[in-house]
Structure 1
Amino acid sequence: MGLKSKVLIIGGTGYLGKRLVKASLEQGHETYVLRRPEIGVDIEKIQMLLSFKKQGAHLVIGSFNDHRSLVEAVKQVDVVICAISGVHIRSHQILLQLKLVDAIKEAGNIKRFFPSEFGTDPARMADALEPGRVTFDDKMVVRKAIEGAGIPFTYVSANCFAGYMVGGLCQPGHILPSTDSVVFLGDGNKKSIFVDEDDIATYTIRMIDDPRTCNKTVYIRPSQNILSQREVVQIWEKLIGKQLEKTYLSEQDFLNIMKGQAYVEQVGLTHYYHVYYQGCLASFDIGEDEEEASTLYPDIKYTKVEDYLTQYL
Structure 2
Amino acid sequence: MAENKSKILLFGGSGYIGRHMVRASIKLGHPTYVYSRPHSDHSQVLNELQSFGAIIVKGQLDDHVKLVSALREVDVVISALAYPQVLDQINIIEAIKVAGNIKRFLPSDFGCEEDRIISVLPPFQAFLDKKKRVRRAIEEANIPYTYVSANCFGAYFVNYLLRPYEQNQEITVYGTGEAKAVLNYEEDIGIYTIKVATDPKACNRVVIFRPRTNMISQLELIALWEKKTGRSFSKIHVPEQELVTLSNTLPDPLNIPVSIIHSVFVKGVTTDFEIGGDDIEASVVYRDQLKFTTIEELLDIFLHDPPPKPALAAFE
Same fold judged by TM-score > 0.5? yes
Match of 1:151?
143
Determine if contact 2:86/2:131 at 8 Å carries over to the other structure. Answer: no
Give secondary structure in 1 for the equivalent of 2:256. helix
| CA offsets 1:215-262 (integer angstroms, 9 cap, x no match) | 111011122111111111011110111221123232223323443423
Q: 1:83 aligns with which of 80, 83, 87?
A: 80
Q: Which residue of the partner structure matches residue 270 of structure 2?
A: 281
Amino acid at match of 2:33: Y
Superposed CA deviations along residues 167-225 of structure 1, whole A, max 9, x for unmatched, are 2227xxx6856651123222211111001111100000011221111111101112211
Q: Identify which of 218, 228, 237 aligns with 1:229.
A: 218
Does structure 1 conserve the Cα–Cα contact (< 8 Å) formed by 2:116 and 2:273?
A: no
1:50 and 2:39 aligned: no
Deviation at 1:128, TM superposition (A): 2.3
Instruction: Give the whole-Å Cα distance in 2 for the aligned partners of 1:12 and 1:84.
Output: 8
2:282 is aligned with 1:304: no
Q: From 93, 110, 131, give the equivalent of 2:86.
A: 93
The alpha carbon displacement at 1:57 in A equals 2.2
Q: Paired residue for 2:12?
A: 11
What is the distance in 1 between the residues matched to 2:31 and 2:206? 25
Structure-2 residue corresponding to 1:186 = 175
Give the match's secondary structure for 2:161. coil
TM-score (norm 1): 0.90
Kindly tell me the number of residue pairs found equivalent between the two proteins: 301
In the other structure, the counterpart of 2:194 is 205
Q: 2:59 corresponds to which residue?
A: 62
Structure 1: stretches of 5+ with no match in the other structure: none
**Structure 1: which 4+ aligned runs deviate by more than 4 Å?**
174-179
Mark the runs of 5 or more structure 2 residues left unpaired by the alignment. Answer: 304-316
Q: Which residue of 1 aligns with 2:232?
A: 243
| Secondary structure of 2:93's aligned partner | helix
Check the 8 A contact 1:62/1:73 in 2, yes or no. Answer: no
1:119 alignment partner in structure 2:
111
How is 1:265-280 mapped onto 2 (pairs within 5 angstroms)?
Answer: 265-280=254-269
SS of the residue aligned with 2:160? coil
Query: What amino acid is aligned across from residue 85 of structure 1 in structure 2?
Result: A
Measured after TM superposition, the shift of residue 163 of structure 1 is: 2.6
- Name the % identity: 40
For 2:58 and 2:243, locate their aligned partners in 1 and report how far apart those are by CA, in whole Å.
45
TM-score (normalised: structure 2): 0.89
Cα distance in 2, alignment partners of residues 253 and 273 from structure 1: 10
Cα distance in 2 between the residues matched to 1:245 and 1:175: 14
